[in-house]
Amino acid sequence: MSNINKDYIKDYIMEVNPKPPTFLEEMHKYAINNHIPIVDNEVAQLLNVLIKIKGAKNILEIGAAIGYSAILMSNAMEKEGIVTTIERREDMINLAKENIKKYNLENRINLLEGEAQNILPNINNRYDFIFIDAAKGKYMEFLPSCIDMLKKGGVIVSDNVLFKGMVANDDLVVRRKKTIVRRMREYLKYISDNPILETSILPVGDGVAISYKKEEK
């Protein structure tokens, strides 16, 4: 049972909204079989639509894992556009590299290896779309650099912000996740109250926040 949406709603959406995209089926299967936490199909489709609406050309992702969402986002931009993605785990980095190569996207996806907290302040680039999908307790640490690097009119999508419903309901919080839940609540409050952002929180997948940057600081 999902603690975010009624199962019948999710099942229905999955039935009418075809997924995973066929070209990603093999990677999708691999991720499911190996318990790699790739984006939900509904979140994948939301990213696809948002990237097209925005006409994004320069995307930053925190948390590549095997490269599934990076490849998906690269595909959403069609012919042009670069995805820069950050990953710290060596096993994931190797799999991501293999997958990027397999899809011939070496020129379109740029993989940065290491801890995002260390890498972000050293990136000298600006993005029109940023996808945060890494350690849930660290979103608040990632955010200042992300806001700086985001162009005016740009979008930050934060994944897993409702974390199995725990963020919305204390009764669901398991003890060892208490800190993550507290930090995620602080994060959601921060991005909701920040005067330069306009944020919408959606109960899609594991919870997604979409933030629009209204002005430069």
Note the residues at the interface with ligand SAH (CB under 6 A). Answer: 37-39, 63, 65, 68-69, 86-89, 92, 115-117, 133-135, 138
Task: Give the CB-nearest residue to Mg ion.
Answer: 159
10 versus 196: smaller Cβ distance to ligand SAH: 10
Instruction: For the CB of residue 195, give the shortest distance to Mg ion in the complex, in Å.
Output: 27
Query: How far is the C-alpha of 156 from the C-alpha of 154, rounded, in Å?
Result: 7
Instruction: For the CB of residue 206, give the shortest distance to Mg ion in the complex, in Å.
Output: 6
Residue 160 binding partner per list Mg ion, ligand SAH, none, with a CB distance cut-off of 5 to 8 Å that depends on partner kind: Mg ion
End-to-end CA distance of the chain: 42
Instruction: For the CB of residue 31, give the shortest distance to Mg ion in the complex, in Å.
Output: 11
Please, what sign has the CA dihedral across residues 36, 50, 166, 150?
positive
42 versus 133: smaller Cβ distance to Mg ion: 133
Task: Give the CB-nearest residue to ligand SAH.
Answer: 63
Q: Residue 129, CB half-sphere, CA atoms under 13 Å: how many?
A: 23
Query: How far is the C-alpha of 111 from the C-alpha of 117, rounded, in Å?
Result: 15
Binding positions for Mg ion, rule: CB under 5 A:
133, 159-160
Give buried/exposed letters for 19-38 (b at 16+ CB in 10 A, else e).
bbbeebeebbeebeeeeeeb
Instruction: For the CB of residue 67, give the shortest distance to ligand SAH in the complex, in Å.
Output: 7
